[in-house]
Amino acid sequence: MTTAHPIHESYSGLKPIRGGTVSMDSIIKHYGSFTAVDGVSLSVGRGEFVALLGPSGSGKTTLLMMIAGFEQPDSGAVCIDGVDVSRMPAHRRDVGMVFQKYALFPHMTILDNVAFPLRMRGVPAGERRLKALDALQIVGLEGMEKRLPAQLSGGQQQRVALARAIVYRPPVLLMDEPLGALDKKLRERMQIEIKHLQESLGVTVIYVTHDQEEALTMADRIAVMNRGRLEQVGTPAELYERPANPFVAGFIGETNLLDGELVAAAGQEWELRLAGGAVVRGTPAAAARHGAAVGARVRLAVRPERIELAPATPGGTGAMVAATVADVIYAGPTLIYLLRADGLPEMTVRVPVQSDAMKPARGEAVSLTWDPANALVY
């Protein structure tokens, strides 16, 4: 799926929008006995791009719908620019919305679809036509205003939905997995274009996604949700480098999670014995904050790209785990190694193809090593 019309390449002439602030205080939402959102508090700054990230059923879309006004919280408050809008109807909240399924009117032309929010606000016909044409030009759809949605590709329909959301220049823009129906290349291009447009306009964006790569690419901060709760809020780098718990470590990127027992702790010097007997070191991370003591059961997390493969010989610094190569997968720029070690779950290691690193064959015995600073203990 492709489109010949890229989003307008230069945003220098756009008149900035004064982005709004959004805050949620102890939001709770029940559906019968099921708790969809459980005590979420989150503040979004003016002009900030925040992604709500989590698996299906984590509560991220329900939270977005409460900000939009399509759902009401059972308790807690939603504020936009300091005003409590928790019981305010959606049409009075002055927020733009881009839905997952675009929600275009099939019987209306593209121009009328984009102009619809202005029509609902009583903007005169001549003015709304000019503003709608301007919005279509911004998203690279000039010349298509007379077409119907069915005459456009999925990528073009997504652009129409985006144009409709920004046509009246709302201070807050809400987006519910808007790129999910697009093919991979177009989705990746649209991620960059939407981020550039958001930065140029200055609009505040809250963006729901289950795709961690999308969140890392687009967001200033990411709020990771699981089972209705916020697990961690931080910049992409903070979440990737210092995830607060094993769930975040496993959801943001790939992570090897290994169970073990804490056998020594002195300041930053932590040692743990993994299932299978290997003794390795790691950085305290969340375990220190929760007061883990010697003898405690802990989990070690280490990223696949932070592990080095070495010949199967004992000794050396850092971690050292004996393993066997179960499989080697060619993945373009990297080789993915699947490894088996006694008492441990299957581990993954990523090695750049264009590197001098050891590249063992399937069935070969190896040692796994890593810098202790790159392994987190929970």
Q: Is this prediction's pTM over 0.85?
A: yes
Q: What's residue 44's pLDDT? A: 97
Mean pLDDT check: name the lowest of 135-149, 181-195, 231-245, 262-276.
262-276
pLDDT higher at 80 or 143: 80
Domain 22-241 classification at class level: alpha beta
How many Å apart are CA 88 and CA 76, to the nearest integer?
14
Q: How sure is the predictor about 52, in pLDDT bands with cuts at 50, 70 and 90?
A: very high
Q: Which of 89-98, 215-224, 248-257, 296-305 has the highest mean pLDDT?
A: 215-224
Radius of gyration of the chain (CA): 25
Average pLDDT of the residues in 23-32:
96
Tens digit of pLDDT for each residue in 353-376? 998 888 999 999 999 988 888 888
In Å, what is the CA distance from 204 to each residue of 18, 173, 355?
8, 6, 41
How many Å apart are CA 151 and CA 253, to the nearest integer?
38
Q: What's residue 268's pLDDT? A: 63
- CA-angle at 226, arms to 283 and 20, nearest 5°: 100
Instruction: Give the amino acid at 36.
Output: A
How many Å apart are CA 45 and CA 173, to the nearest integer?
13
Q: What's residue 138's pLDDT? A: 83
Q: What's residue 48's pLDDT? A: 96
The enclosing H or E element of 44 equals strand 34-44
Instruction: Give the amino acid at 344.
Output: L
Which of 300, 374, 313, 309 has its CA nearest to residue 335? 309
User: CB of 274 within 8 A of CB of 321?
Assistant: yes
pLDDT higher at 26 or 282: 26
Q: What's residue 31's pLDDT? A: 95
The mean pLDDT of the chain is 87
User: CB of 247 within 8 A of CB of 301?
Assistant: no
- CA-angle at 63, arms to 236 and 136, nearest 5°: 75
Q: What is the DSSP string of 112-124?
A: HHHHHHHHHTT--
Q: What's residue 144's pLDDT? A: 87
pLDDT higher at 260 or 292: 260
Per-position b or e across 7-29, b if 16+ CB within 10 A of its CB: bbeebeebeebebbbbbbbebeb
CATH of domain 254-377: 2.40.50.140
What is the share, in percent, of the chain residues with pLDDT greater than 90?
A: 49
Tens digit of pLDDT for each residue in 105-122? 899 999 999 999 888 888
Q: Name every residue whose Cβ is closer than 8 Å to that of residue 286 and which is 6 or more positions away in sequence.
A: 244, 245, 376, 377, 378
The shares of helix, strand and coil residues in the chain, as percent rounded to the nearest 5, are: 25, 35, 40
Q: Which of 26-30, 166-170, 187-191 has the highest mean pLDDT?
A: 26-30
Q: How sure is the predictor about 155, in pLDDT bands with cuts at 50, 70 and 90?
A: confident
Residues of the chain within CATH 2.40.50.140 domain(s) are 254-377
Q: In Å, how far from its chain's centre is CA 131?
A: 32
Phi, psi of 306, deg, nearest 5: -95, -5
Residue 293 has pLDDT above 60, yes or no: yes
Q: How sure is the predictor about 10, in pLDDT bands with cuts at 50, 70 and 90?
A: very low
Q: How sure is the predictor about 4, in pLDDT bands with cuts at 50, 70 and 90?
A: very low
Q: What is the DSSP string of 89-133?
A: -GGGS-EEEE-TT----TTS-HHHHHHHHHHHTT--HHHHHHHHH
Q: How sure is the predictor about 286, in pLDDT bands with cuts at 50, 70 and 90?
A: low
Residues of the chain within CATH 3.40.50.300 domain(s) are 22-241
